[in-house]
Structure 1
Amino acid sequence: MVIILLVVRETCFMGVALAIHLGLVCGFFLIMPFSKFVNCLYRLAALLADAGERQVAS
């Protein structure tokens, strides 16, 4: 999509292409917490919570 933005930057389609691009980027960030891309953050949080619980228990 970025290449398309570079190609159409001097035309009247720049506004439409930019709106589509920004919509896709915003959509990606909105669905990211529900996708597999954030699994590493959830795993890190679980490991830290487990380490904290083990430290308190001992």
Structure 2
Amino acid sequence: MFAAVCFPNVRASVLDNLNRQREEGRLCDLSIQVQGQVFRAHRCVLAGCRTAGSEG
């Protein structure tokens, strides 16, 4: 038997935590340099933002 557990704000909470980690430079595994400015990122977040159907 399975029980359902509801986490109503989990999406916002996860994104808030990932953004906070990025701002603090924690657990970032990717750097992107644009016009001399470096942006730290989480590779899994960028992968999740890919356009549907794109390969690579």
TM-score, with normalisation over the residues of structure 2?
0.33
Q: Which has the larger radius of gyration?
A: 1
> Whose strand proportion is higher, 1 or 2?
2
> Whose helix proportion is higher, 1 or 2?
1
